[in-house]
């Protein structure tokens, strides 16, 4: 059976027309949002989407709205041709790859937004701390952000104050453009998955959000596009995360119910490996 080559769409209006045309024929549409540099974890999301919808759209877009200027937007790994080859190898394939150039480009000039940008710098981010996203630093004129205020606090939100605001906003944009019936997200980014679920509930998106289980490398490391940037030493240290979680899970299975002691098991294992811990939380 010949590999299925997806249609590549880069224009927002064309994407919306395609989706509406398919749904007018009684087809259901599933969306798998990605930032590209695909791996088997992404493939598992596509396979899950095939269980729920007739047609699959995979978006490939590195979202500048979730990066601050000090983060790794410019070095985020990319291999669009390789991504298409991987998608063609997925059983059942995908129908469309939505690969927009810039979802924050509205044809406005940077000079026209300079004054607004200067005032924005003083008030955006968490609590007006001056942290901005790459979108705001580049002065693209985007002003509207989606916040899931309680769930974005804590955990990853502590060290990345613009991240979840940027994620919720770009996912809202993708939902409005693709208009899917179902969207699939990986549980590796657990806080992100829960935030999207809450956003869909609170804003009455008619979309079913599905969480797909974590896919790991043979050595236990959770699959991630950024893994390619790890040195052998860094990769070994990264393994302490899955090892420490396995240690805590085993302790809980044996009857350990003290959350502090379970958290200490994780903290100790990561510190012993030379890692730096942003947070560790236990929920029973």
How confident is the model over 103-131, as pLDDT tens digits?
Answer: 998 876 554 444 344 444 434 444 445 78
Query: Could you tell me which residues are beta bridge partners of residue 222?
Result: 216
pLDDT of residue 119: 40
What does pTM read for this prediction?
A: 0.88
pLDDT of residue 260: 87
| Residue 206 pLDDT exceeds 50 | yes
For 150-153, the CB contacts below 8 A with 24+ separation are: 151/191, 151/194, 151/195, 151/198, 152/191, 152/195
| Residue 277 pLDDT exceeds 50 | yes
Residue with tokens 């999207």: 196
Pairing of strands 29-34, 55-60: parallel
pLDDT of residue 107: 78
The DSSP result for 25-36, as a single string, is TT--EEEEEE-S
pLDDT in tens, 226-256: 999 999 888 988 888 888 888 888 888 999 8
Q: Which of 39, 42, 50, 142 is catalytic?
A: 42
Contact predicate 66/167, CB 8 Å: yes
CA 184 to centroid of chain Cα atoms = 11
> Whose CA is closest to 45, among 182, 204, 248, 245?
182
Is 50 in the active site?
no
Per-chain mean pLDDT for the chain: 89
pLDDT of residue 123: 43
Rounded Cα gap, residues 184 and 30, in angstroms: 8
User: 218: which residues sit within 8 A by CB, 6+ positions away?
Assistant: none
Mean pLDDT of 142-165: 93
Mean pLDDT of 64-85: 95
| Plot region of 142 (φ>0 → left; ψ -120 to 50 → alpha; else → beta) | beta
pLDDT in tens, 26-48: 999 999 999 999 999 999 999 99
pLDDT of residue 124: 42
pLDDT of residue 129: 58
Rounded Cα gap, residues 192 and 200, in angstroms: 12
pLDDT of residue 121: 43
Mean pLDDT of 19-25: 98
Structure tokens at 96: 């469309």
């Amino acid at each position: 059976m010949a590999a299925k080559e997806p249609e590549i769409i880069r224009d927002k209006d064309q994407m919306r027309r395609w989706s509406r045309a398919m749904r007018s024929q009684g087809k259901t549409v599933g969306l798998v949002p990605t930032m590209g540099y695909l791996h088997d974890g992404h493939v598992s999301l596509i396979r899950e989407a095939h269980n729920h919808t007739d047609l699959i759209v995979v978006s490939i877009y590195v979202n500048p709205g979730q990066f601050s200027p000090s983060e790794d937007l410019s070095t985020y790994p990319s291999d669009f041709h390789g991504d298409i080859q991987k998608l063609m190898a997925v059983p059942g394939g995908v129908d469309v790859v939505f690969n927009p150039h810039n979802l924050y480009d509205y044809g406005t000039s940077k000079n026209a937004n300079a004054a607004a940008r200067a005032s924005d710098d003083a008030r955006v981010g968490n609590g007006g701390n001056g942290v901005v996203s790459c979108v705001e630093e580049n002065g693209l004129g985007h002003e509207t952000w989606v916040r899931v205020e309680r769930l974005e606090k804590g955990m990853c939100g502590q060290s990345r104050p613009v991240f979840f605001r940027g994620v919720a906003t770009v996912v809202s944009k993708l939902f409005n453009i693709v208009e899917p019936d179902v969207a699939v997200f990986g549980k590796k980014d657990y806080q992100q998955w829960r935030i999207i679920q809450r956003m869909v509930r609170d804003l009455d998106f008619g979309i079913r959000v599905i969480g797909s289980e974590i896919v790991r490398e043979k050595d236990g490391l959770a699959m991630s596009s950024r893994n390619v940037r790890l040195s052998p030493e860094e990769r070994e240290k990264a393994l302490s995360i899955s090892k420490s979680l396995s240690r805590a899970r085993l302790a809980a299975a044996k009857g350990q119910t003290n959350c502090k002691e379970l958290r200490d098991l994780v903290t100790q294992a990561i510190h012993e490996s030379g890692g730096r811990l942003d947070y560790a939380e236990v929920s029973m």
